[in-house]
Chain A
Amino acid sequence: MGAITAKTNREAQRGNKKKAAAAPALKVILHLILWAVALLQIFPLIWLINYSFLKSGDFFGSGILKWPKSFEWNNYVNAFTYGSVPRFLLNSLMITTVTIVVAAFLALMLGYAFTRMEWKLRGPAMAFIMLGMIVPIHATLLPNFILFDKLNLIDNPLSLILPYIAFSLPISLLIISGFLETIPKSIEESAVMDGCSVFGVIFRIIMPMTKPAIATVCIMNFISWWNEFIMANTFLTSETFKTLPFSIMKFTGQYSSNYGAQFAVMTIIALPTVIIYLLFTEQMSRGITAGAVKG
């Protein structure tokens, strides 16, 4: 212990000279601040789980967190039975998976076409897709409803998947093309020299190299569509294809609500998001920063 402090002291002295290493006190303060921030960030999750075990009548009492007198596992039972969580979960899973896979695929192809290929109207075409970013979802609800109604697509998963993909494209394209810019062209040139076709270049050379960007795009799209409600609410009518947010609605009465069950459903909805975040944070930050720094 003494040796370590001596060492750190020495290091601190050296740090003073170099003005680089932080003093131990400062380090502790920094750690405390970071811990406080971390706790603040995690708190809503703890709160969510805590509330999912309470009786509806216990909510909004004096305390912020409340230790349940008896754990209300019944909330979860309700969520699974009456709330149709398994079915809605499967629907959500299917719809978001198709969306993110197709969106990533299209964004990659488009990104390649816009950054590597020379063609007329390339600039305007890219600008046109990017324009999609300024279109608010609400403005598309009515025209889409009329369109889907004519196409007989109301109450069909496609009525969600298509607009989801469309809304994912601009930002996905932005990230992927930004990433593609950082990949030296010489790699592809040598591939072509070895007899690789255009699709070969995209799927054998580019795709493996853009994995971080693709992962970023997938996660971002997952997060935006996993809980989507406005479009789902407008385009779906029957129980068959409803997505997870509808489970919460099932516990909302005209005047009073079953809060316990709602929180249980919300916990279940939040879980996949948290897990995916934990698994892919590294790739995500790599994907976003890769385009920013010229390597």
Chain B
Amino acid sequence: MKKMWITLVAMLMVFTVAACSSNNGNNGSSGNKGTVPSPADEAKATETAKEDKNAEPVTLKFFTALADRSNGAGKIEQAIIDSYIAENPNVKIEVEALQDEPYKSKIKVYASTNAVPDIIQAWGQTSFIKPLIDNDMLLELNESEFESSNFVPGAKDGFSQDGKLYGLPRGTDFLVIYYNKKLFDDNGLSVPTTTTELLEVSKQLRAKGINPIATNAMEGWSLPIWFEYAAQRHTGDFNKMDAVLSGEGKFSGDADFLAAAQDIAALAENKGLADGFLTADYGMSRNLFGQGQAAMYVMGNWEAGLATDENFPEEFRNNVGAISYPASDKGAATDVAAWYGGGYSVSKNSKHPEAAVAFLKYFFAPENWAKQVWETGSGTPAQKFDQFLTGNETALQKQLVDIFSAMTSSSGTPVHDNGTDEFKTIVMEAHQKLFGKQITPEQFLTEMDAAVAVLK
């Protein structure tokens, strides 16, 4: 008995000691693997030390929603951070990376304790950035400092409020329809160019036992953007929807919106959406398309990597293409649902605002983010990147560039991101019900009006 008692106490002590000592260890070192300077960096440190004599050590906390640091955008972000640290040995950047949803809930914790990290990922959407700006948590950025970054016109709008700039966009996002050329060819079908053809093709694909369109309806965010397309093809103007959101007019009773909702309902009625699409999340819908079980895939331009993803059969990779949403007599294929999503903001409470801004300047230098993100096919930068076109792009990348450069009008921030969390939930649920045939187009418009009412 005594033995057991002694072991218990001994274990307790060992663990508390371990806990305390490792804690001390943390205070001593930077704590982040990515920020520990390598010997090479230290060598460089002595070199550059001569240049800036009074460079004080600065530690920046960098909070991002790109959790995967070994692939795609996250990898590039980390690479730029690493090279910045190498060039500026007095600066340490501690990266904390979480996925979107945990990120958004943790930023709330940070915000309510006034402990927002120096540089945070921000979304140029009212739902995310407005509360932060309104509570005076973000640093105002000087636009002229970033002129050489060549941001695409309008890209910074979402990050601005009352003419002041509070953040910088990282990428341009737009919704396209990917298609599997082989599935179309094998069945003697041609890729739809008008909304009527889209419905017709869906019917024919369904008749041959192929899933027509895959999308991630479970998460809900792709549907409102899709509906924006459908609506624009009837109204001929992306702004009409924004006008309704700001209180001019209503969804219900509007013939154009009704026709758009009926289009979607018709598509759903004819099983134009893949089996089980309402329970399909991002990965599932993507795999459904990649495995050749769906002919089309409604998703953003960031999926340019579909053409090179080794996880999918070669036959698929060689046959994947992208088109803009089919046109109608009122809306052209060059009217694209495009917006500027993620980017960065600097915390107003930051102890080193100049250092944070200096890093952002480095990050958005054309040869860093814009060049690298384009060359790796991880997305489309929100900066001009024509000079980085190498001609070695995949066919899919070229098609995406064509859609982007032919763009004559764009939708801006997706509808559901134009308001509060509550608004977002109602809007996404209304769309899920419409696409899932649980409500009629008329009921859908009423629900959308109810969502708008929440905004007031």
Contacts and interface: CB of A to CB of B under 8 A. Distances in A.
Interface of A: 55-62, 82, 94, 97-98, 101-102, 105, 141-142, 145-146, 149, 155-158, 161, 203-204, 207-208, 233-234, 237-241, 249-259
B169 to A, nearest CB: 14
7 contacts: A57-B312, A102-B12, A145-B109, A204-B1, A239-B32, A240-B26, A254-B67
Contacts of B70: 82, 250
A147 B280 CA distance: 40
B19 A158 contact: yes
**Chain B interface residue count: which class?**
35 or more
Contacts of B8: 101, 105
Contact of B109 (A94, A141, A161): A141
Interface of B: 1-2, 4-5, 8, 11-12, 15-16, 18-19, 22-23, 25-26, 30-34, 61, 65-74, 94, 96, 98-100, 102, 106, 109, 112-113, 115, 280, 282-284, 286-288, 290-291, 293, 300, 302-303, 305, 309-313, 342
B66 A61 contact: no
4 A-B pairs with least C-beta separation: A57-B311, A238-B31, A253-B68, A60-B284
Contacts of A256: 72, 282-283, 286, 303, 305
Contacts of B12: 98, 101-102, 105
Contacts of B282: 255-257
A253 B69 CA distance: 8
B340 to A, nearest CB: 15
B5 A57 contact: no
A149 B110 CA distance: 10
Contact of B15 (A57, A59, A101, A249): A101
Contact of A251 (B68, B98, B309): B68
B209 to A, nearest CB: 12
A145 B25 CA distance: 21
B370 to A, nearest CB: 17
A249 B94 contact: no
A254 B113 contact: no
A234 B99 contact: no
A98 B68 contact: no
Nearest to A204: B1
A155 B16 CA distance: 16
B68 A250 contact: yes
A81 to B, nearest CB: 10
B99 to A, nearest CB: 5
Nearest to A57: B311
Contact of A149 (B72, B115, B280): B115
B309 A57 contact: yes
B106 A233 contact: yes
A11 B447 CA distance: 69
A270 B8 CA distance: 26
B288 A60 contact: yes
Given A61-B293, A97-B15, A250 B113 contact: no
B283 A259 contact: yes
Contact of B2 (A142, A204, A234, A240): A204
A82 to B, nearest CB: 5
A141 B106 CA distance: 10
Nearest to B276: A60
